[in-house]
Amino acid sequence: QVQLVESGGGLVRPGGSLTLSCQATGGMFAIVGMAWHRQASGKQRELVAEVDSGGTSGDTNYADFVKGRFTISRDYAKNAVYLQMDNLKPEDTAVYYCYADIEIDGGGRRTGYWGQGTRVTVPS
């Protein structure tokens, strides 16, 4: 059973930094891509950043509202993804969710998995 375990959320002042971590555990053939989404209170969940398996470190994509401030990275050996968040703003306050697109058995079928979420609070 695949599980995504997140850590690293917390309370940080505006302009501060946090690093979120997410590790996938359990039986799997390959992780095709990983991403971070977030959901603020009363709002829909939105994509923050994603990284696939292209190249040596994966091709990345960022939402416009985090470009230049957040960096997503993968550790293939650990089945992990990280989100370095710099220059945090009050509007970054949300629950951040890890997502992984996983091929379980090598047969080509892929399944998406979500972590439990980790809260990031940036007071105004």
pLDDT at residue 74 is higher than 80? yes
Q: Where residue 115 falls among pLDDT bands split at 50, 70, 90?
A: very high
At 65, give phi and psi (nearest 5°): -75, -5
Return the pLDDT at 23.
Answer: 97
CB of 19 closer than 8 Å to CB of 82: yes
Tens digit of pLDDT for each residue in 81-112? 999 999 999 999 999 999 999 998 888 899 99
CB of 42 closer than 8 Å to CB of 116: no
Tens digit of pLDDT for each residue in 5-38? 999 999 999 999 999 999 999 988 999 999 999 9
CB of 67 closer than 8 Å to CB of 48: no
Return the pLDDT at 20.
Answer: 98
CB of 9 closer than 8 Å to CB of 57: no
